[in-house]
Homo-oligomer: A and B are copies of this chain.
Amino acid sequence: MEAVTGKVQYRVIYADTDQMGVVYYGNYGKLYEIGRTEMIRGMGFPYKELEKSGVMMPVYSVESKYLNVITYDELITIETIVRELPTAKIKFQNRIFNEDGTLAHEATVVLVFMDTHTKKLVRAPEGLLKLFK
């Protein structure tokens, strides 16, 4: 497959910041979520539809690097890339850019596919898979 990329903008609010005056390190998980959700929506397969089909996607691992601070009211860009065909898991790579274009953050988030009822791992749903092929 070719890499699939999505981009979405997000405006930093007070709630995201901490008393260092920057986005709190523990709030980046929301940014990754917004990134991958909007990427999948853009491909025509909203995550909500996935859930209705009886599959959920818990996060298995996260690796994050904080390269530059992000400050209040910045209109940041969250980039999300999938480079490998999903199997029983799917790997999202995120890059977050400051309003001035500086690369502020990198992350890799791996999620697994799980049957909502049995809680067993399953393969990626065909409807999602074919979007990446």
A56 to B33, CA, bound (A): 28
When the two chains form their complex, are residues B29 and A26 in contact, meaning their CB atoms are under 8 A apart?
Answer: yes
- Report how many copies the assembly holds: 4
- In the complex, chain B residues whose CB is within 8 Å of the CB of A56: 20
Interface size on A, residues (CB 8 A): 37
When the two chains form their complex, are residues A19 and B14 in contact, meaning their CB atoms are under 8 A apart?
Answer: yes
When the two chains form their complex, are residues A29 and B30 in contact, meaning their CB atoms are under 8 A apart?
Answer: no
- In the complex, chain B residues whose CB is within 8 Å of the CB of A65: 60-61
Q: State the Cβ distance, A5 to closest chain B Cβ, in Å.
A: 20
- Beyond the given pairs A26-B29, A61-B64, 16 more chain A to chain B contacts, judged by CB atoms under 8 angstroms and listed by A's residue number, are A11-B34, A13-B34, A13-B37, A14-B20, A15-B33, A17-B19, A19-B72, A26-B26, A26-B33, A29-B29, A37-B73, A46-B73, A48-B73, A61-B63, A62-B64, A63-B63
